[in-house]
A = this chain, B = another copy of it.
Amino acid sequence: MGTSTGDTVTDGVAVPDWRKLEATELTPILSAALDAFYETGFHGTSVREIARRVGVTVPALYYHHENKEGLLIALLELSTSDVLSRAHAADADGGDDPVQRLSNVIEAIVLRMTLRARLAALEGESRYLSPDNRQRYRAVRKGVEQLVRSIVEEGTASGVFDVDDPAETTRALLGMCQSIPRWYHSEGTLTPEEVAAKYVDITLKTVGAPSRR
């Protein structure tokens, strides 16, 4: 799937290889917050507990983050911006071909869902955000949906895909990717690359495109 072996150059701007996920670059505080939110949920975690995990005082933590919701929104925005930029790089790497573009974008999303399962699972906590923050967060997340939808629509318009309802099909495709953190475990039998390849195949079936293999 795809031909990229290194960095991609799009419109003269070098974008990092969307297939490579380095170790998450989280600050110690955000890393501790992520672990705590994952283990006991947003409402089940106290700022005191996060400070304890990272070995700082509560005032020191408040120096960096306004409150507990500030930590959640920081993690969610970091996560969503990351997937959005990777998805755009993967799309650009697919050139003009809707099949390759959609394959790349789904591959990028699934790689992130498997390699960043803990961060991806945090998405479920977004319903606890205050209305303002929830709206801001959803606007960023909407970017991924709009990208996938535009590819599905263009592929359908050009007759490469056979889709009745591009908007709902997009939501279904993203939904199946979003559910991956519920069952994927890094100790399992499938590598992230194998899961990605399977979901690309299933995606191409869903949009009525011929499989690449």
Of B45, B165, B208, which is within 8 A of A43 by CB?
Answer: B45
Contact A205 B207 (CB under 8 A): yes
Interface string of A189-209 (1 = CB under 8 A from B): 000000000110110011110
Instruction: Look across to chain B and name the residue whose beta carbon is closest to the beta carbon of A207.
Output: B205
Within 8 A of B (CB), among A69-127: 124-125
Q: How far is the CA of A208 from the CA of B125 in the complex (A)?
A: 35
Q: Is A63's beta carbon under 8 Å from chain B? A: no
Q: Is A62's beta carbon under 8 Å from chain B? A: no
Interface segment, one of A1-9, A19-27, A53-61, A175-183:
A175-183
Q: Is A143's beta carbon under 8 Å from chain B? A: no
Contact A179 B183 (CB under 8 A): no
Tally of A interface residues using CB under 8 Å: 36
Within 8 A of B (CB), among A153-191: 162-165, 168-169, 171-180, 182-183
Q: Using a CB–CB distance below 8 Å, which chain A residues touch chain B?
A: 40-45, 124-125, 128, 162-165, 168-169, 171-180, 182-183, 198-199, 201-202, 205-208, 211
Instruction: Look across to chain B and name the residue whose beta carbon is closest to the beta carbon of A211.
Output: B164
> Which chain B residues border A177 with CB–CB below 8 Å?
175
> Which chain B residues border A124 with CB–CB below 8 Å?
124, 182
> Which chain B residues border A42 with CB–CB below 8 Å?
41, 44
In the assembled complex, how far is the CB of residue A205 from the closest CB belonging to chain B, in whole angstroms? Answer: 5
Of B128, B171, B180, B206, which is within 8 A of A205 by CB?
Answer: B206
In the assembled complex, how far is the CB of residue A71 from the closest CB belonging to chain B, in whole angstroms? Answer: 15
> Which chain B residues border A175 with CB–CB below 8 Å?
175-180, 182
Contact B208 A205 (CB under 8 A): yes
Contact B44 A198 (CB under 8 A): no
Contact B43 A201 (CB under 8 A): no
